[in-house]
Amino acid sequence: MSASPTRRAFLKGKVQEVPRQRPPGAGPEAEFHDACTQCGECAAACPEGIIMKDAGDRPFLDFNAGACTFCHACTDACDFGALSPENEWLWRGSVESSCLSMNGVNCRTCEDHCDQRAIGFRLQTGGRAQPVLDEDLCNGCGGCSMACPVGAITFKKTNPKTEARP
């Protein structure tokens, strides 16, 4: 992930730290840190088993373990307000240059595992195919990331969608 460190991480001298994908329902990182008690109830409630703890014992999603179904069991289990159904999930997939298909190896595993059909491929010269990810279709579930044999799928945080005002 090519994100810059959070202001909090910078002030603590952790300039290499990048934002973690918190469970669905997590708000802004600072608010999440303040509200999360590190109780582990969200991880215990997750039927997919993809909620792990970071170095600070706060929950994050590990898409190497599986994809998120957005069942909101984690949100329902959080009694402290760290996870709220009103908070929008802002993470979307991104394909890195290590993608096998971009390097001339026939692979479409991410496309096969994308239930949203957000990933397609555009043929290029030299036997390559460029993955094309539709951010409007991608829900950031991690199914493509889990399946990628070289870990070429990362996630970036998008801006919240705002509704047009009349």
Residue pair 102/133 in contact by the 8 Å Cβ criterion: no
* pTM exceeds cut of 0.75: yes
pLDDT at 125 (0 to 100): 86
Of 148, 53, 40, 38, nearest to 93 (Cα)? 148
Q: How far apart are CA 126 and CA 88, in angstroms?
A: 41
Q: Profile the chain (166 residues) by mean pLDDT over runs of 10 residues.
A: 47 58 93 94 97 93 94 96 93 95 94 96 89 94 95 90 51
